[in-house]
Structure formats: C-alpha cells, structure tokens
C-alpha cells in the first residue's frame, strides 16, 4: 500500500529511474570498453563523475530547496568521502607495488618493513615517513568504507549541531557553514594534517588488486556504480521529502517558528537532514574520486560548495530532478568550455576564447537565471505537464510581531 502510494505520488521517481537506466545502457553499449569505441574511456569517466555530482546536487537540493538551509559546506563532505576511500586506494596500491619490489630482494620483506616503506613512499613528499594516527584503518577496505559514511556523517552532525543550536538562520547560517568549510580546507592544506597537505592523494584511478583490468572496463564499472548510487539516492531522497517528513521540512523552510509552535523540534529535523545529506555527499565523493584520480584540499574549499549551490539553482531547486539536471548541464558545459573544445568567437576586434570567458558567462547567466527564471531548468517541466509548482518561499515569521520586523518592507498585507 505504502509503496504504491509512494510511486503514484512521485511519478518523477519512475521517470528519473527509467531515463537513468536507459542512459546507462546506451553509454555501456557505445563505450570503448565494450568494443564499440564510440565513446572514449575518458568521456565515460567524465559521465560517471557527472552522475556523482548529480547525486551530491540532489542532496544539496534536499538541504537547500526543501529545508531552506543554504549550506556552503556539502562539497566538503563530498571531498571527505573521497579522502576516506583515497586513503585505502593509495595505501593498498603502494603496498602492492612496494611488496613486489621488496620481494625482488634476496630476503623476503617483513610486514613492518613494508608498512614503513609505504609510509616513506606516501609521506616522503611532505617530509615525513611516519603514518599519522588517522591512517590507522587505511590498510582495511571495510574500515575505510565505513569511514566514508562515518567521517562526513559525524562531521555533519557536529557542524550542524553547532550551527543550528545557536538558532542562526538564513544568510548568517550560510556564512557560518562557509567558515567551517574554510577552516576544514585550511587545515587540510597543512602538510602535517596527515593527508599530504596541498599535494592531496593521487593515483586513485588504479584500483588495487585490479591491475590487470583495463581502465576502459573499470570506467564502465564505476559508471554503473555511480548510476546505481544516484538511482538509490534519488529514491531515498524522494521518499524522505514525500510524506510527512517532507511536509515538516518544507514547513521548516517556509516558517520555522510556526513548525516549532506545532511542537516539532526544528533543530533535530535540520540536523537529521544535514547529516543524512552529508553522508550521501560523502558516498558520492567516494565514487567520484576514483574516477578523477586525484584529490586535494582545493576540492574542499568553500568555492566548490558555492558552485554546488549554483548548479542546484540553475537546475531548479525544490525538485530533485531539477538539481540533478542542473548539476549535469553546468558541469558538462563547464568542462566543454574550459577544456578548449568550444569554438572561439571572432568579433573582429576581439576573439572570445572560452577558456577565458566561460566563468564570465557562467556568472552572468547565473545572475540571469536567478532574476528571470527562479525555477531554473526544472521550470521547463512545468510547461509540459501541470506538475507541482515550486511555491515562492515566504519569509514571514509567525506571530503578530511582524509589524516590527524589518522583513516586511514592500510586502503586501495579506
């Protein structure tokens, strides 16, 4: 009964999963790895990465579009997920390489010898050879996989608790999350942070134990993994934002104090959503970075999270597929323009090279979308069918104190 209700009430889930499946099949058939070679391995990787970005965009949409928290920190959780899986990838791969070379010596290596050799191999770059304590679990894949969930989850919990309990809202809250993200990225930039400072972790595209599998096949495997994760994430979030939970969090977005007076502990809801989306972001990152090959603290800097918000806004917030489309369109366009594939525009006196002008275009078109099409790309779907419109968020708070509030200016009395 519930299941039927869920699907009938959320048609978009069905259509999204269907298009995702069809898309994944088409890519698989055309990919280099299946012998057709119509799509290069690197493009399959780009598409796989895009799917991960779509997943984190959906998470962002739940936080921002549905709950009204403009978090400028979700890419930090994304990056942390990547770091967690990257630690295992780097450790295990270095272990394989070093064991092979040490085995070439007349005397077989001892476990301690290998461990120390890995340490000096990985941390030689930052002038150390000791394993920091945070690498304790690095040799174990299951442990690091657990950390992919735990580290972003716990961090989101702590971040969120600090931010929400002080009842900071709106722009203030955004700035606060941005500051926290900045603190994290600055910390990681240090060489003694234990994660190789600004060098970050590299060589993540080589999966330990799968050295014989060509990248063309690996890329398809990761593409599918990303697609499955995206599909599962979509269903999860569609379920969360439907039903009573969706009702409450949209209530929080539109009128936080009214929800509070109904007896809901608003902070817990915010914290729940913030942590859940943080975890999903971490998982998305753990799938993204093996396809990207390298991760460094730049990826965690606040700017990345701001771009994430831009994707969601352009795609149309308040609807999950909008966020997904926005992330896909903007990130693919961005790599097309900055990759130098876009043709230059010759204006006679000046030639526009898109590598230089793409950001200007993005910035201005973003302003244009905010001003002229606040529903974003997703708004186009409203033209096709009469789907649920995105309601204008009302900034009014509960109670008759309104007369004294500064937000009232220019607003017509209801």
Partner 1 sequence: MTSPVPLQSITKPIECIAADTFAVPAASSPPQDFQTRLAMLRALFPALALTLCLCLPSGKAAAQDQRDLQSILQTEAEEVASPGRRSVGSVIDALVASELPQAPEFLQRWSEREVLQRTTDGLFFYGTREGDSYALTDLSTGEPAGSAPASEIEEIRPNGGVRRVIASALVQFQLSDPIEARRIEALDSIARNPSADQLEPLLASIEDEPSPRIRARKEELAGMLAATFGDTPEERIAAISALSDGVSVQIRAVLNQILSTRSEVGTEIPEGTNIARELTPGDDLTRDDAYARLVSEDLAPEIQSRDQLKAALTANIDGGTVGGVPIGALDTEEARARAYETLAAAGTIPRLVTEEDVDAALASHVFFEAYDEDDPAITDAARAALNEVETRVAVHQVADLALDAVSLASIYFLAAIGLAITFGVMGVINMAHGEFIMMGAYTGYVVQQIIPDYTVSLIVALPLAFAVTFAAGVAMERLVIRWLYHRPLETLLATFGISIALQQLAKNIFGTQARPLTSPSWLEGAWVVNDVIGIANIRIAIFVLALIFLALILFILKRTRVGLEVRAVTQNPGMAASMGINPERINMLTFGLGSGIAGIAGVAIGLYAQVTSEMGANYIVQSFMTVVVGGVGNVWGTLAGASLIGVLQKGIEWMNPSNTLAAQTYMILFIILFIQVRPKGIVALKGRAAGD
Partner 2 sequence: MKTLLEMSGVSVSFDGFKAINNLSFQIGEPELRAIIGPNGAGKTTFMDIITGKTRPDSGTVIYGEKSISLLKMSESQIAMAGVGRKFQKPTVFEAQTVRENLAMALKNRRGPFDVLLYRKTSRGAKRIEELAETIGLTDALPRIAGELSHGQKQWLEIGMLLAQDPRLLLVDEPAAGMTPAEREHTTDLLKRAAKKHAVVVVEHDMEFIRRLDCRVTVLCEGSVLAEGSLDHVTSDPQVIEVYLGR
List interacting residues with partner 2 (CB under 8 A). 2, 5, 240, 243-245, 247-248, 250-251, 254-255, 257-266, 268-269, 272, 391, 393-394, 396, 398-402, 414
CB of 316 to partner 2, least distance (A): 15
Q: Binders of partner 1: how many residues, by CB under 8 A?
A: 73
Task: Judge whether 81 and 282 are in contact, CB under 8 Å.
Answer: yes
User: Of 234, 278, 286, nearest to 69 (Cα)?
Assistant: 278
Contact in structure between 218 and 359 (CB atoms under 8 Å): no
Q: How far is the CB of 231 from partner 2 (least distance, A)?
A: 20
Q: Give me 345's structure tokens.
A: 């525009």
176 binds, among partner 1, partner 2, none (CB under 5 to 8 A by kind): partner 1
Q: Is 349 in the site for partner 1 (CB under 8 A)?
A: no
**Partner from partner 2, partner 1, none binding residue 411, C-beta < 5-8 Å depending on class:** partner 1
Contact call for residue 410 and partner 1 (CB under 8 A): yes
Phi, then psi, of 201 in degrees rounded to 5: -110, 140
Binding partner of 4, given partner 2, partner 1, none, CB within 5-8 angstroms per partner class? none
Helices 266-292 and 215-241 cross at an angle (nearest 10°) of: 170
Identify the residue among 9, 130, 344, 411 touching partner 1 (CB under 8 A): 411
Q: Which is nearer to partner 1, 113 or 149 (CB)?
A: 113
Q: What residues numbered 32-71 form the site for partner 1, per CB under 8 A?
A: 64, 70
What pairs with residue 295 in β-bridges?
Answer: 201
Residue 96 within binding range of partner 1, rule CB under 8 A: no
Q: Does 112 bind partner 1 (CB under 8 A)?
A: yes
> Longest Cα pair distance anywhere in the chain, in angstroms?
87
Please list, in sequence order, all residues whose beta carbon lies within 8 angstroms of the beta carbon of residue 33, skipping any fewer than 6 positions away. Answer: 41, 44, 214, 216, 217, 219, 220
Contact pattern for partner 1 over residues 141 through 180, marking x by CB under 8 A: ---------------------x--xxxxxxxx-xxx-xxx
Classify each residue of 190-221 as buried b or exposed e, where b means 16 or more C-beta atoms within 10 Å of its C-beta: eeebbbbbeebbbebbbbbeeeeeebbbbbbe
CB of 308 to partner 1, least distance (A): 11
């Amino acid at each position: 009964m519930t299941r039927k209700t869920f699907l009938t009430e959320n048609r978009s889930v069905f259509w999204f999963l269907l298009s995702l499946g069809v898309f994944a099949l088409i890519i698989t058939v055309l990919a280099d790895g299946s012998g057709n070679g119509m799509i290069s391995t690197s493009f399959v990787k780009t598409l796989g990465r895009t799917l991960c970005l779509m997943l984190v965009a959906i998470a962002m949409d739940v936080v921002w579009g549905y709950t009204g928290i403009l978090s400028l920190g979700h890419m930090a959780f994304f990056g942390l997920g990547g770091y967690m899986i990257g630690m295992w990838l780097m450790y295990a791969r270095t272990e394989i390489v070093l064991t092979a070379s040490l085995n070439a010596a007349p005397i077989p290596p001892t476990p301690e010898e290998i461990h120390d050799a890995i340490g000096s191999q990985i941390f030689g770059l930052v002038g150390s050879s000791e394993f920091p304590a945070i690498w304790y679990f690095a040799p174990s894949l299951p442990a690091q996989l657990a950390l992919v969930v735990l580290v972003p989850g716990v961090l989101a919990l702590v971040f969120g608790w600090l931010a929400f309990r002080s009842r900071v809202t709106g722009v203030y809250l955004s700035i606060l999350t941005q500051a926290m993200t900045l603190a994290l990225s600055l910390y990681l930039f240090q060489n003694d942070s234990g994660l190789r400072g600004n060098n970050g972790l590299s060589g993540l595209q080589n999966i330990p134990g799968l050295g014989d599998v060509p990248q063309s096949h690996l890329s398809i495997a990761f593409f599918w993994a990303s697609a499955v994760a995206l599909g599962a994430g979509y269903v999860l979030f569609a379920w969360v934002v439907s039903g009573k939970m969706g009702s409450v969090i949209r209530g929080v977005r539109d009128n936080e104090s009214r929800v509070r007076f109904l007896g809901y502990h608003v902070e817990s809801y915010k914290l729940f959503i913030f942590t859940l989306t943080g975890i999903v972001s971490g998982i998305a990152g753990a799938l993204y970075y093996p396809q990207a090959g390298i991760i460094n603290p730049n990826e965690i800097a606040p700017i990345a999270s701001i771009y994430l918000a831009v994707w969601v806004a352009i795609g149309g917030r308040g609807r999950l597929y909008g966020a997904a489309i926005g992330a896909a369109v903007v990130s693919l366009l961005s790599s097309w323009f900055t990759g130098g594939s876009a043709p230059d525009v010759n204006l006679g006196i000046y030639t526009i090279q898109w590598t230089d002008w793409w950001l200007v275009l993005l910035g201005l078109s973003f302003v244009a979308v905010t001003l002229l099409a606040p529903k974003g790309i997703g708004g186009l779907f409203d033209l096709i069918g009469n789907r649920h419109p995105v309601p204008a968020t009302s900034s009014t708070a509960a109670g008759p104190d309104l007369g004294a509030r500064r937000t009232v200016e220019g607003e017509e009395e209801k």
